[in-house]
Structure 1
Amino acid sequence: MTSNAHIDLSKAVYVLNNAQHICILTGAGISAESGIPTFRDKQTGLWENFRAEDLANCDSFVRDPELVWSWYQWRRSEVKDKRPNPAHEALATWQAKAGQLGQTISLITQNVDDLHEQAGSQATHLHGELWQNHCSECGQTYEEAIDPAVTALVPCKSCGGKVRPSIVWFGEMLPQEPWQIAQQAAENCEVFISIGTSSMVYPAAGLAQSAKQNGATVIEINPHPTDNGLVDIQLPYPAGEILPELVAQLSQAKN
Protein backbone atom coordinates (compact mmCIF):
# COMPACT_ATOMS: atom_id res chain seq x y z
CA MET A 1 0.00 0.00 0.00
CA THR A 2 1.04 3.60 -0.52
CA SER A 3 1.70 5.95 2.39
CA ASN A 4 -1.67 7.63 1.74
CA ALA A 5 -3.38 4.26 1.96
CA HIS A 6 -1.74 3.65 5.34
CA ILE A 7 -3.03 7.02 6.51
CA ASP A 8 -6.57 6.20 5.36
CA LEU A 9 -6.37 2.77 6.97
CA SER A 10 -5.24 4.36 10.22
CA LYS A 11 -8.20 6.74 10.05
CA ALA A 12 -10.55 3.80 9.54
CA VAL A 13 -9.01 1.89 12.45
CA TYR A 14 -9.31 4.93 14.71
CA VAL A 15 -12.97 5.51 13.83
CA LEU A 16 -13.88 1.84 14.17
CA ASN A 17 -11.95 1.49 17.42
CA ASN A 18 -14.23 4.12 18.91
CA ALA A 19 -17.51 2.70 17.58
CA GLN A 20 -19.91 0.25 19.18
CA HIS A 21 -22.43 -0.32 16.39
CA ILE A 22 -21.15 -1.03 12.88
CA CYS A 23 -23.20 -1.79 9.78
CA ILE A 24 -21.48 -3.47 6.83
CA LEU A 25 -23.00 -3.74 3.35
CA THR A 26 -21.33 -6.10 0.88
CA GLY A 27 -21.90 -6.31 -2.85
CA ALA A 28 -20.80 -8.25 -5.89
CA GLY A 29 -17.18 -7.09 -5.68
CA ILE A 30 -16.39 -9.17 -2.61
CA SER A 31 -17.70 -12.34 -4.29
CA ALA A 32 -15.92 -11.51 -7.54
CA GLU A 33 -12.66 -11.96 -5.65
CA SER A 34 -13.72 -15.60 -5.15
CA GLY A 35 -14.30 -16.03 -8.87
CA ILE A 36 -18.06 -15.44 -8.95
CA PRO A 37 -18.95 -13.21 -11.93
CA THR A 38 -20.88 -10.07 -11.09
CA PHE A 39 -24.49 -9.98 -12.16
CA ARG A 40 -23.74 -7.49 -14.91
CA ASP A 41 -20.78 -9.33 -16.38
CA LYS A 42 -21.27 -10.66 -19.91
CA GLN A 43 -22.79 -14.14 -19.91
CA THR A 44 -20.77 -17.04 -21.20
CA GLY A 45 -21.35 -20.34 -22.97
CA LEU A 46 -24.94 -21.15 -23.88
CA TRP A 47 -26.12 -17.94 -22.22
CA GLU A 48 -23.93 -15.43 -24.03
CA ASN A 49 -26.87 -14.20 -26.13
CA PHE A 50 -28.99 -13.43 -23.07
CA ARG A 51 -28.91 -10.52 -20.67
CA ALA A 52 -29.24 -11.32 -16.98
CA GLU A 53 -31.82 -8.53 -16.65
CA ASP A 54 -34.02 -10.30 -19.22
CA LEU A 55 -34.03 -13.55 -17.27
CA ALA A 56 -34.23 -12.41 -13.65
CA ASN A 57 -37.83 -11.22 -13.65
CA CYS A 58 -41.33 -12.56 -13.12
CA ASP A 59 -42.49 -11.93 -16.67
CA SER A 60 -39.72 -14.11 -18.08
CA PHE A 61 -40.59 -16.92 -15.66
CA VAL A 62 -44.26 -16.76 -16.62
CA ARG A 63 -43.41 -16.67 -20.32
CA ASP A 64 -40.70 -19.35 -20.29
CA PRO A 65 -40.21 -20.93 -16.85
CA GLU A 66 -37.98 -23.71 -18.24
CA LEU A 67 -35.55 -21.15 -19.63
CA VAL A 68 -35.32 -19.15 -16.41
CA TRP A 69 -35.01 -22.27 -14.25
CA SER A 70 -32.26 -23.67 -16.48
CA TRP A 71 -30.37 -20.41 -16.24
CA TYR A 72 -30.47 -20.40 -12.45
CA GLN A 73 -29.38 -24.02 -12.36
CA TRP A 74 -26.44 -23.03 -14.55
CA ARG A 75 -25.64 -20.17 -12.18
CA ARG A 76 -25.72 -22.60 -9.27
CA SER A 77 -23.37 -24.96 -11.06
CA GLU A 78 -20.97 -22.07 -11.63
CA VAL A 79 -21.03 -21.08 -7.95
CA LYS A 80 -21.12 -24.44 -6.14
CA ASP A 81 -17.33 -24.90 -5.98
CA LYS A 82 -16.48 -21.30 -5.06
CA ARG A 83 -15.03 -20.68 -1.62
CA PRO A 84 -14.67 -17.66 0.70
CA ASN A 85 -11.71 -15.38 0.12
CA PRO A 86 -9.66 -13.50 2.76
CA ALA A 87 -12.26 -10.71 2.86
CA HIS A 88 -15.07 -13.10 3.83
CA GLU A 89 -12.80 -14.73 6.39
CA ALA A 90 -11.78 -11.39 7.89
CA LEU A 91 -15.41 -10.36 8.34
CA ALA A 92 -16.19 -13.69 9.99
CA THR A 93 -13.23 -13.21 12.34
CA TRP A 94 -14.44 -9.70 13.16
CA GLN A 95 -17.97 -10.90 13.93
CA ALA A 96 -16.63 -13.68 16.14
CA LYS A 97 -14.52 -11.21 18.13
CA ALA A 98 -17.15 -8.45 18.23
CA GLY A 99 -18.08 -9.17 21.83
CA GLN A 100 -14.48 -8.93 22.98
CA LEU A 101 -14.15 -5.66 21.09
CA GLY A 102 -17.33 -4.26 22.65
CA GLN A 103 -19.02 -4.04 19.25
CA THR A 104 -22.05 -5.25 17.38
CA ILE A 105 -21.46 -6.05 13.70
CA SER A 106 -24.51 -6.08 11.43
CA LEU A 107 -23.53 -7.73 8.14
CA ILE A 108 -25.93 -7.01 5.27
CA THR A 109 -25.31 -8.42 1.80
CA GLN A 110 -26.75 -7.84 -1.64
CA ASN A 111 -25.15 -11.11 -2.76
CA VAL A 112 -27.17 -14.30 -3.17
CA ASP A 113 -24.26 -16.72 -2.68
CA ASP A 114 -23.45 -18.31 0.68
CA LEU A 115 -19.77 -17.35 0.94
CA HIS A 116 -20.34 -15.28 4.08
CA GLU A 117 -21.96 -18.28 5.75
CA GLN A 118 -19.24 -20.63 4.53
CA ALA A 119 -16.69 -18.37 6.22
CA GLY A 120 -18.67 -18.46 9.47
CA SER A 121 -20.50 -15.13 9.36
CA GLN A 122 -24.13 -14.38 10.08
CA ALA A 123 -25.45 -12.28 7.21
CA THR A 124 -28.78 -10.73 6.27
CA HIS A 125 -29.54 -11.30 2.57
CA LEU A 126 -31.44 -8.46 0.92
CA HIS A 127 -31.81 -10.08 -2.50
CA GLY A 128 -32.53 -13.65 -1.48
CA GLU A 129 -30.37 -16.75 -1.45
CA LEU A 130 -29.32 -18.73 -4.50
CA TRP A 131 -29.61 -22.15 -2.88
CA GLN A 132 -33.15 -21.67 -1.61
CA ASN A 133 -36.39 -22.24 -3.53
CA HIS A 134 -40.09 -21.68 -3.09
CA CYS A 135 -43.32 -22.22 -5.01
CA SER A 136 -44.22 -19.49 -7.47
CA GLU A 137 -47.93 -20.20 -6.84
CA CYS A 138 -48.48 -20.72 -3.09
CA GLY A 139 -45.17 -19.37 -1.77
CA GLN A 140 -44.37 -22.54 0.18
CA THR A 141 -40.66 -23.03 0.84
CA TYR A 142 -39.23 -26.04 -0.99
CA GLU A 143 -37.05 -27.65 1.64
CA GLU A 144 -35.29 -30.34 -0.37
CA ALA A 145 -31.94 -29.57 -1.96
CA ILE A 146 -32.04 -29.56 -5.76
CA ASP A 147 -28.97 -30.68 -7.65
CA PRO A 148 -27.78 -27.97 -10.10
CA ALA A 149 -27.73 -30.65 -12.80
CA VAL A 150 -31.54 -30.92 -12.62
CA THR A 151 -32.74 -28.60 -15.37
CA ALA A 152 -36.33 -29.84 -15.48
CA LEU A 153 -38.93 -27.79 -13.61
CA VAL A 154 -39.69 -29.01 -10.10
CA PRO A 155 -43.35 -29.16 -8.94
CA CYS A 156 -44.43 -27.89 -5.54
CA LYS A 157 -45.41 -30.72 -3.21
CA SER A 158 -48.20 -28.65 -1.71
CA CYS A 159 -50.04 -27.28 -4.73
CA GLY A 160 -48.25 -28.59 -7.82
CA GLY A 161 -47.08 -25.11 -8.86
CA LYS A 162 -43.69 -24.37 -10.35
CA VAL A 163 -40.78 -24.10 -7.92
CA ARG A 164 -38.59 -21.04 -8.46
CA PRO A 165 -35.37 -19.71 -6.92
CA SER A 166 -35.84 -17.61 -3.79
CA ILE A 167 -34.20 -14.63 -5.44
CA VAL A 168 -35.56 -11.09 -5.57
CA TRP A 169 -36.23 -10.47 -9.25
CA PHE A 170 -36.43 -7.12 -11.01
CA GLY A 171 -39.73 -5.49 -10.15
CA GLU A 172 -40.17 -7.42 -6.89
CA MET A 173 -40.08 -5.93 -3.40
CA LEU A 174 -37.24 -6.77 -1.06
CA PRO A 175 -38.25 -9.27 1.64
CA GLN A 176 -39.72 -7.26 4.51
CA GLU A 177 -37.85 -8.72 7.49
CA PRO A 178 -34.31 -8.52 6.01
CA TRP A 179 -34.99 -4.98 4.80
CA GLN A 180 -36.20 -3.88 8.25
CA ILE A 181 -33.08 -5.40 9.83
CA ALA A 182 -30.89 -3.54 7.33
CA GLN A 183 -32.69 -0.23 7.85
CA GLN A 184 -32.45 -0.43 11.62
CA ALA A 185 -28.77 -1.36 11.47
CA ALA A 186 -27.99 1.55 9.13
CA GLU A 187 -29.99 4.07 11.14
CA ASN A 188 -28.41 3.07 14.47
CA CYS A 189 -24.78 2.53 13.47
CA GLU A 190 -21.88 4.84 14.18
CA VAL A 191 -19.89 3.53 11.22
CA PHE A 192 -21.25 2.27 7.90
CA ILE A 193 -18.91 0.28 5.66
CA SER A 194 -19.67 -0.33 2.00
CA ILE A 195 -17.63 -3.19 0.52
CA GLY A 196 -17.48 -4.12 -3.17
CA THR A 197 -20.64 -2.34 -4.22
CA SER A 198 -21.22 0.64 -6.47
CA SER A 199 -24.05 1.83 -4.20
CA MET A 200 -26.14 2.41 -7.29
CA VAL A 201 -28.89 -0.20 -6.84
CA TYR A 202 -31.81 1.02 -4.76
CA PRO A 203 -33.24 0.58 -2.23
CA ALA A 204 -30.05 -0.95 -0.78
CA ALA A 205 -28.04 2.04 -2.00
CA GLY A 206 -30.09 4.23 0.34
CA LEU A 207 -28.67 2.53 3.43
CA ALA A 208 -25.44 4.55 3.35
CA GLN A 209 -27.44 7.73 2.96
CA SER A 210 -29.61 6.80 5.93
CA ALA A 211 -26.55 6.05 8.04
CA LYS A 212 -24.95 9.36 7.05
CA GLN A 213 -28.09 11.32 7.89
CA ASN A 214 -28.01 9.80 11.36
CA GLY A 215 -24.44 10.86 11.99
CA ALA A 216 -22.46 7.78 10.95
CA THR A 217 -19.02 7.82 9.38
CA VAL A 218 -19.12 6.13 5.96
CA ILE A 219 -16.17 4.01 4.84
CA GLU A 220 -15.93 2.62 1.31
CA ILE A 221 -13.79 -0.39 0.39
CA ASN A 222 -13.73 -0.68 -3.37
CA PRO A 223 -10.88 -0.76 -5.92
CA HIS A 224 -13.16 1.42 -8.08
CA PRO A 225 -14.23 4.30 -5.80
CA THR A 226 -17.73 5.62 -6.41
CA ASP A 227 -17.04 9.23 -5.37
CA ASN A 228 -20.70 9.68 -4.45
CA GLY A 229 -20.11 12.38 -1.83
CA LEU A 230 -21.33 10.31 1.12
CA VAL A 231 -17.98 8.63 1.75
CA ASP A 232 -15.75 9.96 4.53
CA ILE A 233 -12.90 7.44 4.18
CA GLN A 234 -12.01 5.67 0.94
CA LEU A 235 -9.94 2.49 0.88
CA PRO A 236 -9.53 1.91 -2.88
CA TYR A 237 -8.19 -1.64 -2.70
CA PRO A 238 -9.57 -5.16 -3.13
CA ALA A 239 -11.45 -6.26 -0.03
CA GLY A 240 -9.34 -9.40 0.26
CA GLU A 241 -6.23 -7.23 0.56
CA ILE A 242 -7.39 -4.50 2.95
CA LEU A 243 -9.92 -6.20 5.25
CA PRO A 244 -7.55 -8.75 6.85
CA GLU A 245 -5.15 -5.93 7.74
CA LEU A 246 -7.98 -3.72 9.01
CA VAL A 247 -9.42 -6.44 11.25
CA ALA A 248 -5.96 -7.39 12.52
CA GLN A 249 -5.27 -3.81 13.54
CA LEU A 250 -8.62 -3.54 15.30
CA SER A 251 -7.87 -6.66 17.30
CA GLN A 252 -4.41 -5.36 18.24
CA ALA A 253 -5.83 -2.01 19.30
CA LYS A 254 -8.15 -3.66 21.80
CA ASN A 255 -5.59 -6.08 23.25
Structure 2
Amino acid sequence: MNQLKMYIVSDSIGETGDLVAKAAISQFRKDFESTAVKRIPHVESTDQLQEITEIAAEQHAIILYTLVKEEMRTYIRLECERRNIPSIDLLGPIIDVIGSTLNERSSEEPGRVRMLDEDYFQKIEAIEFAVKYDDGRDPRGLLLADIVLIGVSRTSKTPLSQYLAHKRYKVANVPLVPEVEPPEELFKIDPDKCFGLVISPEKLNSIRKERLKALGLKDDANYAKIERIRAEIDHFYSVADRIGCRVIDVTDRAVEETANIILNIKQKRER
Protein backbone atom coordinates (compact mmCIF):
# COMPACT_ATOMS: atom_id res chain seq x y z
CA MET A 1 0.00 0.00 0.00
CA ASN A 2 1.35 3.41 -1.00
CA GLN A 3 2.04 5.82 1.83
CA LEU A 4 0.06 9.01 1.62
CA LYS A 5 2.01 12.09 2.67
CA MET A 6 0.22 15.33 3.37
CA TYR A 7 1.42 18.73 4.62
CA ILE A 8 -1.00 21.04 6.40
CA VAL A 9 0.34 24.58 5.92
CA SER A 10 -1.16 27.37 8.01
CA ASP A 11 -0.47 30.91 9.20
CA SER A 12 -2.24 29.99 12.45
CA ILE A 13 -2.18 26.65 14.27
CA GLY A 14 -3.45 24.56 11.34
CA GLU A 15 -6.35 22.99 13.21
CA THR A 16 -8.87 23.61 10.41
CA GLY A 17 -6.70 21.98 7.75
CA ASP A 18 -5.90 19.06 10.04
CA LEU A 19 -9.59 18.32 10.65
CA VAL A 20 -10.45 18.55 6.95
CA ALA A 21 -7.53 16.29 6.02
CA LYS A 22 -8.52 13.61 8.53
CA ALA A 23 -12.16 13.77 7.45
CA ALA A 24 -11.15 13.21 3.82
CA ILE A 25 -8.59 10.46 4.55
CA SER A 26 -11.11 8.57 6.67
CA GLN A 27 -13.21 8.03 3.55
CA PHE A 28 -10.45 5.90 2.03
CA ARG A 29 -8.68 4.07 4.89
CA LYS A 30 -9.72 2.41 8.11
CA ASP A 31 -6.65 3.66 9.92
CA PHE A 32 -3.97 6.29 9.51
CA GLU A 33 -0.93 4.02 9.96
CA SER A 34 0.10 4.33 6.34
CA THR A 35 -0.65 8.05 6.24
CA ALA A 36 1.84 10.75 7.20
CA VAL A 37 0.08 14.04 7.98
CA LYS A 38 2.44 16.82 9.03
CA ARG A 39 1.08 20.08 10.37
CA ILE A 40 3.23 23.17 9.69
CA PRO A 41 1.77 26.07 11.70
CA HIS A 42 2.56 29.78 11.99
CA VAL A 43 3.98 30.18 8.49
CA GLU A 44 4.69 33.89 8.05
CA SER A 45 6.94 34.29 5.01
CA THR A 46 7.34 33.24 1.38
CA ASP A 47 10.81 31.91 2.26
CA GLN A 48 9.13 29.37 4.53
CA LEU A 49 6.67 28.47 1.77
CA GLN A 50 9.52 27.94 -0.69
CA GLU A 51 11.27 25.57 1.71
CA ILE A 52 8.04 23.67 2.39
CA THR A 53 7.26 23.19 -1.31
CA GLU A 54 10.82 22.00 -2.00
CA ILE A 55 10.51 19.26 0.62
CA ALA A 56 6.95 18.38 -0.43
CA ALA A 57 8.11 17.94 -4.03
CA GLU A 58 10.92 15.62 -2.95
CA GLN A 59 8.55 13.50 -0.84
CA HIS A 60 5.68 13.52 -3.37
CA ALA A 61 3.38 14.97 -0.74
CA ILE A 62 0.03 16.70 -1.05
CA ILE A 63 -0.26 20.22 0.39
CA LEU A 64 -3.39 21.55 2.07
CA TYR A 65 -3.14 25.18 3.06
CA THR A 66 -5.18 27.56 5.18
CA LEU A 67 -3.58 30.95 4.57
CA VAL A 68 -5.59 34.13 5.02
CA LYS A 69 -3.20 36.50 3.21
CA GLU A 70 -3.85 36.62 -0.53
CA GLU A 71 -0.15 37.18 -1.28
CA MET A 72 0.80 33.99 0.58
CA ARG A 73 -1.95 31.95 -1.10
CA THR A 74 -0.88 33.14 -4.54
CA TYR A 75 2.77 32.31 -3.83
CA ILE A 76 2.16 28.75 -2.64
CA ARG A 77 -0.32 28.07 -5.47
CA LEU A 78 2.23 29.12 -8.08
CA GLU A 79 5.04 27.18 -6.38
CA CYS A 80 2.89 24.06 -6.24
CA GLU A 81 2.00 24.43 -9.93
CA ARG A 82 5.67 24.95 -10.84
CA ARG A 83 6.79 21.90 -8.86
CA ASN A 84 3.77 19.79 -9.90
CA ILE A 85 2.59 19.34 -6.30
CA PRO A 86 -1.08 18.43 -5.73
CA SER A 87 -2.49 21.20 -3.53
CA ILE A 88 -5.79 22.37 -2.07
CA ASP A 89 -6.57 25.92 -0.97
CA LEU A 90 -9.12 25.47 1.82
CA LEU A 91 -9.79 29.13 2.69
CA GLY A 92 -9.10 31.19 -0.42
CA PRO A 93 -12.26 30.36 -2.44
CA ILE A 94 -14.53 30.91 0.57
CA ILE A 95 -12.85 34.22 1.47
CA ASP A 96 -13.17 35.38 -2.15
CA VAL A 97 -16.88 34.56 -2.35
CA ILE A 98 -17.68 36.22 0.99
CA GLY A 99 -15.60 39.25 0.04
CA SER A 100 -17.37 39.71 -3.30
CA THR A 101 -20.79 39.19 -1.67
CA LEU A 102 -20.10 41.77 1.04
CA ASN A 103 -18.11 43.99 -1.34
CA GLU A 104 -15.26 44.35 1.13
CA ARG A 105 -11.77 43.04 1.72
CA SER A 106 -10.95 40.50 4.39
CA SER A 107 -8.84 41.55 7.37
CA GLU A 108 -6.15 38.98 6.48
CA GLU A 109 -5.44 38.43 10.19
CA PRO A 110 -4.28 34.88 11.03
CA GLY A 111 -5.90 33.25 14.07
CA ARG A 112 -9.05 35.40 14.05
CA VAL A 113 -11.36 32.42 14.52
CA ARG A 114 -9.61 31.46 17.74
CA MET A 115 -9.81 35.06 18.93
CA LEU A 116 -13.56 35.06 18.25
CA ASP A 117 -14.00 31.74 20.08
CA GLU A 118 -12.08 32.99 23.11
CA ASP A 119 -14.07 36.23 23.12
CA TYR A 120 -17.35 34.29 22.98
CA PHE A 121 -16.46 31.95 25.83
CA GLN A 122 -15.19 34.87 27.94
CA LYS A 123 -18.56 36.53 27.52
CA ILE A 124 -20.49 33.36 28.44
CA GLU A 125 -18.31 32.87 31.51
CA ALA A 126 -18.93 36.47 32.61
CA ILE A 127 -22.71 36.14 32.12
CA GLU A 128 -22.81 32.92 34.16
CA PHE A 129 -20.74 34.63 36.86
CA ALA A 130 -23.17 37.56 37.05
CA VAL A 131 -26.11 35.18 37.46
CA LYS A 132 -24.37 33.09 40.11
CA TYR A 133 -23.32 36.06 42.22
CA ASP A 134 -26.38 38.25 41.68
CA ASP A 135 -28.10 39.90 44.63
CA GLY A 136 -25.47 38.83 47.17
CA ARG A 137 -26.25 35.11 46.79
CA ASP A 138 -22.69 34.01 47.50
CA PRO A 139 -20.33 36.57 49.09
CA ARG A 140 -17.30 34.54 47.96
CA GLY A 141 -17.90 35.89 44.47
CA LEU A 142 -17.00 39.39 45.64
CA LEU A 143 -13.34 38.38 45.92
CA LEU A 144 -13.36 36.90 42.39
CA ALA A 145 -15.24 39.69 40.63
CA ASP A 146 -13.77 42.32 38.31
CA ILE A 147 -16.51 44.75 39.36
CA VAL A 148 -18.67 44.85 42.50
CA LEU A 149 -21.89 46.85 42.63
CA ILE A 150 -23.64 47.87 45.83
CA GLY A 151 -26.91 49.73 46.29
CA VAL A 152 -30.37 49.66 47.78
CA SER A 153 -33.19 47.74 46.11
CA ARG A 154 -34.29 48.94 42.64
CA THR A 155 -31.12 50.77 41.65
CA SER A 156 -30.63 48.57 38.55
CA LYS A 157 -27.84 46.41 40.00
CA THR A 158 -28.92 43.24 38.18
CA PRO A 159 -29.44 44.69 34.66
CA LEU A 160 -26.20 46.64 35.04
CA SER A 161 -24.39 43.45 36.06
CA GLN A 162 -25.68 41.67 32.96
CA TYR A 163 -24.79 44.58 30.67
CA LEU A 164 -21.22 44.65 32.00
CA ALA A 165 -21.04 40.85 31.71
CA HIS A 166 -21.71 41.20 27.98
CA LYS A 167 -18.60 43.40 27.94
CA ARG A 168 -16.76 40.38 29.44
CA TYR A 169 -16.48 41.68 33.01
CA LYS A 170 -17.22 39.39 35.95
CA VAL A 171 -19.67 41.33 38.11
CA ALA A 172 -21.12 40.61 41.55
CA ASN A 173 -23.68 42.81 43.27
CA VAL A 174 -24.86 43.21 46.85
CA PRO A 175 -28.18 44.75 48.00
CA LEU A 176 -27.86 46.91 51.10
CA VAL A 177 -30.55 46.80 53.79
CA PRO A 178 -30.20 48.53 57.19
CA GLU A 179 -31.32 45.43 59.08
CA VAL A 180 -28.76 43.15 57.41
CA GLU A 181 -25.01 43.43 58.03
CA PRO A 182 -23.09 43.49 54.71
CA PRO A 183 -20.90 40.45 54.08
CA GLU A 184 -17.39 40.76 55.49
CA GLU A 185 -15.93 40.01 52.04
CA LEU A 186 -17.24 43.39 50.90
CA PHE A 187 -14.69 45.15 53.10
CA LYS A 188 -11.80 42.98 51.88
CA ILE A 189 -12.03 43.86 48.20
CA ASP A 190 -10.07 46.55 46.40
CA PRO A 191 -12.19 49.74 46.72
CA ASP A 192 -11.33 50.65 43.12
CA LYS A 193 -13.34 47.73 41.77
CA CYS A 194 -16.42 48.60 43.84
CA PHE A 195 -19.10 51.04 42.68
CA GLY A 196 -22.01 52.27 44.76
CA LEU A 197 -25.29 53.06 43.00
CA VAL A 198 -27.46 55.75 44.53
CA ILE A 199 -30.75 57.31 43.42
CA SER A 200 -32.85 60.23 44.58
CA PRO A 201 -35.41 59.29 47.26
CA GLU A 202 -38.26 60.74 45.18
CA LYS A 203 -37.34 58.74 42.08
CA LEU A 204 -36.91 55.55 44.09
CA ASN A 205 -40.24 56.17 45.81
CA SER A 206 -41.93 56.32 42.39
CA ILE A 207 -40.13 53.20 41.11
CA ARG A 208 -40.99 51.15 44.19
CA LYS A 209 -44.65 52.16 44.10
CA GLU A 210 -44.88 51.01 40.49
CA ARG A 211 -43.13 47.77 41.45
CA LEU A 212 -45.69 47.08 44.19
CA LYS A 213 -48.56 47.77 41.82
CA ALA A 214 -47.08 45.39 39.26
CA LEU A 215 -47.03 42.71 41.97
CA GLY A 216 -50.69 43.39 42.79
CA LEU A 217 -49.85 44.97 46.17
CA LYS A 218 -50.81 48.28 47.73
CA ASP A 219 -48.32 51.05 47.08
CA ASP A 220 -48.36 52.30 50.68
CA ALA A 221 -46.18 49.48 52.02
CA ASN A 222 -43.16 50.41 54.14
CA TYR A 223 -40.92 49.37 51.23
CA ALA A 224 -42.08 52.39 49.22
CA LYS A 225 -42.37 54.97 51.99
CA ILE A 226 -40.10 57.96 51.59
CA GLU A 227 -38.89 57.79 55.22
CA ARG A 228 -37.85 54.16 54.76
CA ILE A 229 -36.09 54.98 51.51
CA ARG A 230 -34.11 57.80 53.10
CA ALA A 231 -33.04 55.48 55.92
CA GLU A 232 -31.84 52.91 53.37
CA ILE A 233 -29.87 55.55 51.44
CA ASP A 234 -28.24 56.80 54.66
CA HIS A 235 -27.22 53.20 55.40
CA PHE A 236 -25.91 52.85 51.83
CA TYR A 237 -23.64 55.90 52.26
CA SER A 238 -22.29 54.60 55.57
CA VAL A 239 -21.31 51.30 53.90
CA ALA A 240 -19.87 53.04 50.83
CA ASP A 241 -17.76 55.25 53.10
CA ARG A 242 -16.41 52.20 54.95
CA ILE A 243 -15.41 50.58 51.67
CA GLY A 244 -14.09 53.80 50.17
CA CYS A 245 -15.74 53.14 46.82
CA ARG A 246 -16.87 55.48 44.06
CA VAL A 247 -20.57 56.42 44.21
CA ILE A 248 -22.57 56.98 41.03
CA ASP A 249 -25.96 58.71 40.96
CA VAL A 250 -28.19 56.61 38.67
CA THR A 251 -31.22 58.89 38.90
CA ASP A 252 -32.74 59.17 35.40
CA ARG A 253 -29.71 57.37 33.92
CA ALA A 254 -30.03 54.48 31.50
CA VAL A 255 -28.16 51.27 32.33
CA GLU A 256 -25.90 51.82 29.31
CA GLU A 257 -24.97 55.30 30.53
CA THR A 258 -24.07 54.06 34.02
CA ALA A 259 -22.07 51.20 32.51
CA ASN A 260 -20.08 53.64 30.34
CA ILE A 261 -19.25 55.73 33.40
CA ILE A 262 -17.93 52.64 35.21
CA LEU A 263 -15.94 51.45 32.19
CA ASN A 264 -14.41 54.88 31.61
CA ILE A 265 -13.33 55.07 35.26
CA LYS A 266 -11.79 51.58 35.05
CA GLN A 267 -9.95 52.35 31.82
CA LYS A 268 -8.50 55.61 33.23
CA ARG A 269 -7.28 53.76 36.33
CA GLU A 270 -5.73 51.00 34.21
CA ARG A 271 -3.87 53.58 32.10
**The two structures share one fold, judged by TM-score above 0.5:** no
Q: TM-score range by the shorter chain?
A: under 0.3
Which of the pair is proportionally richer in helix? 2
Q: TM-score, structure 1 length as denominator?
A: 0.27
| Greater Rg over alpha carbons, structure | 2
TM-score by length of 2: 0.25
Higher relative contact order, chain-length normalized (CA < 8 Å, sep 6+)? 1
